Amino acid sequence: MLYAAAHPGRLDHLILLTPGLQAVGVQATEEEERAAMKHRSGEPWYGDAVAAVQKAEAGQDSLENRSRYVPFYYGRWDEAAQAHAQVGISERARAVREGWYADGAFRPEATRAALGELTAPVLIYAGELDFASTPGAAARAAELFRSSKVVVQPGTAHFPWLDDPAWFRSAIDSFLG
C-alpha cells in the first residue's frame, strides 16, 4: 500500500493479500476478531490458543506464547501449517514486526488520500477465518480505492494459499485476467 501510495502510476493492478491495514488506519474490530476465533471453537487447540491471545493482549507475547495462538492464522493446523508457522514466529520475525509497526511508522491520513487517487484495480483478499485481517476490515479498506474488489476465500485464515492453493490461484488469475 505504501508503494502504491508513493508510485500510483507504476501499477496496473494491486493485490493486497490478507493485508495488515495499519498504514491506512483500518483494523479488525474486537467483535470481528472474537467471532473469527469462535469459529474455531471445535479445534483441540482452541482453549489454549484463546488463553494465549488474552496473554498477548495483556502484554505477554513471548515466542512461547505466540506459538500457542498461531493456529488461529491457519485454516487447517496440519503439518504444512505447522512448518510454515515455525518461520513466522521466530524471534527474528518478531524484531522485523516491531520495527515495521513502530509508533509513527505510518501516516494513515496521507496514505489514504494518496490511495484514493490510485486508478489501478485493487483486489483485497481475505480468509474467511482470519482473525488478524478479517473480511470486515478488508471490506472497509476497499472503500479507500476507486476500483476495488474483495475476495473472501472460504475455510481459510491468514495464509489462504496453504489451505486451498487451487481456489487461491483461481481467484488471483480471475482478477488479473
CATH number of the domain at 170, please.
3.40.50.1820
In this structure, is the dihedral angle defined by the CA atoms of residues 21, 78, 167 and 153, taken in order, positive or negative?
negative
What range defines the domain where residue 47 resides? 2-176
Torsion angle (degrees, nearest 10) of CA 45, 46, 52, 56: 130
88 has pLDDT over 80: no
- pTM surpassing 0.75? yes
Mean pLDDT of all residues in 98-126: 89
Q: Note whether 133 and 159 are within 8 A (CB).
A: no
Q: How many domains does the chain have?
A: 1
Please tell me the distance from the alpha carbon of residue 63 to that of residue 90, in angstroms, as a whole number. Answer: 7
Which cell goes with 135?
473480511
Instruction: Give Dmax (Cα) for the chain.
Output: 48
pLDDT of residue 163 exceeding 70, the answer is yes
In DSSP notation, 107-169 reads: -HHHHHHHHTT--S-EEEEEETT-SSS-HHHHHHHHTTSSSEEEEEETT--S-HHHH-HHHHH
Q: What is the pLDDT of residue 40?
A: 97
